[in-house]
Amino acid sequence: MNEPIKKYMKVGIIHFMAFPECIKGEGPILDTLKIIANDNYFDAVEMTWIKDPETRREAARIIDVSGMAVGYGGQPRLLTTGYNINDLDESKRLTALASLKEGIDEAYELGAKGFAFLAGKYEESTKEESYGQLVKSTRELCAYAKSKGDMRVMTEVFDYDIEKRSLIGPAALAKRFAEDILADHENFGLMVDLSHIPQLHETIEESLRPVKEYITHAHIGTCVLGDPKRDAYGDQHPRFNFPHSVNHAEELTAYLRALMELGYFEKFDRPFVSFEVKPFGEEDPELVIANGKRVLDEAWAKL
């Protein structure tokens, strides 16, 4: 592709994955955020909960002054606590829902235009009941976000049988789910992730085409599959070119081409395409970030 990448997308990065010591809403949030904010390769950053109000206010100031767009990932509010938004126990569902509503409030404080979460685990024997709980929760989240502004609510499509074991899920179910929510709430969409596609046992085409109308956010990354004993096996988002990882520059090129052909870059004004990469072991986060930028540049040049 001869045209600059920034003509088509806001290149973003997930702060709490690049710097996983911040994933529980604590840690060196401001210092690590400044590393991203000072790097003009990035037009966007995705944050998660920030427990300290003053730290949250300062993070919002850093984002504003640097001119970055911001999204909010509610996934850690569920994954680090064990909360399940489609829990069949109604009291537990409401606990998860309350946490995500707090996340929406925080997202507005940060100036985010999008709020993402994931569906929880489920049992095959009660899958439809879990689906009903998920629909109920998501409708409540969409209504809550709409009552406070124009924020979009998004469900990220995860694996269903490897690690997260999320209800959403394969492409066919993600399509059904999006249609059910959008029937009543226009501020909803799906988040897709290159690193999750192999975990869904789908090709890029199989994963994206059925939901092309509903994609409102995209992540890029890789994963390790095969032997569960391998380092970073499953949904661990290692750096590109990690041993036994399955997505490389060629797969990223195919993913970007598919998003382009399916109209993702035309639906919005430079939509997010964000790195979801995490250092493994003692790896330096800044080196992992540099790795990702080089792979994206290589993939874009192959388009």
pLDDT, tens digit (0-9, with 9 covering 90-100), for 201-252: 999 999 999 999 999 999 999 999 999 999 999 999 999 999 999 999 999 9
Q: Determine the length of the chain.
A: 303
pLDDT at 268: 87
Position 93 confidence tier, pLDDT thresholds 50, 70, 90: very high
Q: How sure is the predictor about 110, in pLDDT bands with cuts at 50, 70 and 90? A: very high
Predicted local confidence at residue 158, as pLDDT: 97
Q: What is the pLDDT of residues 122-175, one digit of tens each?
A: 999 999 999 999 999 999 999 999 999 999 999 999 999 999 999 998 999 999
Asked if residue 2 has pLDDT above 90, the reply is no
Q: What pLDDT is attached to residue 1?
A: 78
What string of DSSP letters covers the chain?
Answer: --S-GGGT-EEEEEHHHHSGGGTTS-SSHHHHHHHHHT-TT-SEEEE----SHHHHHHHHHHHHHHT-EEEEE-HHHHHTTT--TT-SSHHHHHHHHHHHHHHHHHHHHHT-SEEEE------GGGHHHHHHHHHHHHHHHHHHHHHHSSPEEEEEP--SSSSS--SS-SHHHHHHHHHHHHTT-SSEEEEEEGGGTGGGT--HHHHHGGGGGGEEEEEE---B-S-TTSTTBBT----TT-TTB---HHHHHHHHHHHHHTTHHHHSSS-EEEE-----TT--HHHHHHHHHHHHHHHHHH-
Provide the pLDDT for residue 206: 98
pLDDT digits (tens, 9 = 90+) for 24-56: 999 999 999 999 999 999 999 999 999 999 999
